[in-house]
């Protein structure tokens, strides 16, 4: 956005079982965006409480996501890596956004409906307000670009709605303080590539997810090569050979998913993958997919384990990142408080 410094922000919840969807849809793209940009990557631990309150392994899951960021190639010196709860301004700005967001907007959020399920009365208020906290995460740093998987698209639209209402409702104090274009940017989502929505290996109509009870539905970033091979070999397919063009994947969700995964890992388009594997049987394609997955994920998994054995190092990275994030957040909050009309002493 013109007038705003280009800044990338994204977050990953420390809810365990980091998987190939998180990697291809998000973390791999975080790594690619680093060059020539200012990036902030956050382990969103406050979000993790929305679904399940007490998580005995929360601290190690926070270290696990941090390890995944570092093992995948994020440079914590050139960019900022931190955990959300260490920067209390996320909660402060989220409160203001709770007053900006309208109930009608929140009621349209499909992720809340999916996560709350039938027993909506028993869902936490935090789960309902989740998208408002997510908008605060992004706008606290006035981030212009947010790389995410397809499932976060609606939350990014809500973030723009919140920014826009804040800019409009407070137009006078914003203009008085010289923020010509509005105080918050209308953040652009960066969603795309062949693996923006990786599906379950057991059911091509369901998203690959941390919470699927079947471990065979996903490839975890810490799976060893034998486990990866077993999961790929057992992945659901259909009886036809692969088509030679993308149009031939229509109505074949499992085939489309495996081709998308291959393309994401190989950094090629689905069309290119099908040019190579068109007319191949799944057995041959799966062997190639096993080799590629092990080649690309194996080193990340082993580096994650090495880093997790050194919690002191991980915590030093998070402490340094939090201090730098706090400094940016403090500037935003000071301006927000002035704009809203709070008395700052």
Footprint of ligand TYM (CB under 6 A): 9-13, 21-22, 25-26, 44, 47, 134, 137-138, 146, 148-149, 151-152, 155, 196-198, 207-208
Catalytic residue flag (residue 337)? no
Q: What is the DSSP secondary-structure string of 204-232?
A: TTSB--TT-S-GGGS-BTT--HHHHHHHH
Among the options 153, 210, 305, 337, which is catalytic? 210
Least distance in Å: CB of 326 to ligand TYM? 17
Q: Cβ closer to ligand TYM: 171 or 186?
A: 186
Nearest to 270 by CA among 282, 255, 283: 255
DSSP state of 74: -
Q: What tokens were used for 104?
A: 């009608």
Q: CB of residue 197 vs ligand TYM: minimum separation in angstroms?
A: 5
Question: Of 118, 165, 206, 207, which one is the catalytic site residue?
Answer: 207
The least distance separating ligand TYM from the CB of residue 79, rounded to whole angstroms, comes to 15
DSSP 114-157: HHHTT-GGGS-HHHHHHHHHHHHHHHTTT-SEEE--GGGHHHHH
Whichever of 33 and 134 has its CB closer to ligand TYM, that residue is: 134
Considering the complex, state which of residue 28 and residue 345 has its C-beta at the smaller distance from ligand TYM. 28
Alpha-carbon gap, residue 279 to 253, rounded angstroms:
17
Smallest separation (angstroms) from ligand TYM to the CB of 35: 20
Phi, psi of 196 (to 5 degrees): -70, -15
Instruction: Residue 243: name the closest of 271, 274, 289, 265 by CA.
Output: 274
Residues listed for the chain: 345
Catalytic option among 115, 153, 165, 337: 115
28 catalytic per annotation: no
Residue 210 is among the residues annotated as catalytic for this protein: yes
> How many angstroms separate the first and last alpha carbons of the chain?
33
Q: Judged by CB, which is closer to ligand TYM: 68, or 242?
A: 68
- Identify which of residues 206 and 275 has a Cβ nearer to ligand TYM in the complex: 206
Q: Residue 267 phi/psi, 5° resolution?
A: 55, 45
Shortest distance in whole angstroms from residue 89 CB to ligand TYM: 14
Angle at 155 between CA 116 and CA 180, to 5 degrees: 150
Shortest distance, position 230 Cβ to ligand TYM, whole Å = 20
Q: How many CB atoms lie within 10 A of CB 128?
A: 18
The pair phi, psi for residue 106, each rounded to 5°, is -65, -35
Q: Which is nearer to ligand TYM, 21 or 182 (CB)?
A: 21
**DSSP 8-state class, residue 79:** S
Q: Active-site residues: which are they?
A: 115, 207, 210
């Amino acid at each position: 956005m013109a007038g705003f410094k280009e800044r990338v922000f994204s977050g990953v919840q420390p809810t365990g079982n980091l998987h190939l969807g998180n990697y291809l849809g998000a973390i791999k793209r975080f790594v690619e965006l680093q060059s020539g940009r200012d990036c902030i990557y956050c382990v969103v631990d406050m979000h993790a409480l929305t679904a399940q309150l007490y998580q005995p392994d929360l601290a190690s899951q926070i270290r696990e996501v941090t390890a995944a960021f570092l093992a995948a190639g994020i440079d914590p010196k050139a960019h900022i890596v931190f955990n959300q709860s260490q920067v209390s301004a996320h909660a402060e700005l989220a409160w203001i956004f709770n007053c900006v967001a309208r109930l009608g907007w929140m009621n349209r959020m499909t992720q809340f409906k999916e996560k709350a399920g039938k027993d909506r009365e028993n869902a936490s208020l935090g789960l309902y307000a989740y998208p408002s906290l997510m908008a605060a995460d992004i706008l606290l740093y006035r981030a212009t670009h947010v790389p995410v998987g397809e499932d976060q698209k609606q939350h990014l639209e809500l973030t723009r709605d919140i920014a826009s209402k804040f800019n409009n409702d407070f137009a006078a104090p914003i203009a008085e303080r010289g923020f010509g274009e509005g105080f918050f940017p209308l953040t652009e989502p960066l969603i795309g590539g062949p693996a923006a929505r990786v599906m379950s290996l057991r059911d091509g109509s369901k998203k690959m997810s941390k919470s699927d009870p079947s471990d065979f539905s996903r490839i975890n970033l810490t799976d060893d090569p034998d486990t990866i091979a077993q999961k790929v070999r057992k992945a659901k397919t259909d009886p036809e050979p692969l088509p030679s063009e993308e149009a031939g994947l229509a109505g074949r969700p499992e085939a489309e998913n495996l081709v998308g995964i291959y393309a994401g890992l190989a950094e090629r388009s689905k069309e290119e993958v099908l040019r190579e594997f068109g007319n191949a049987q799944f057995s041959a394609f799966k062997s190639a997919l096993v080799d590629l997955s092990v080649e690309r994920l194996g080193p990340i998994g082993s580096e994650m384990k090495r880093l997790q054995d050194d919690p002191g190092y991980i915590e030093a990275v998070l402490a340094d990142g939090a201090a730098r994030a706090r400094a940016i957040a403090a500037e935003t909050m000071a301006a927000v408080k002035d704009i809203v009309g709070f008395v700052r002493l």
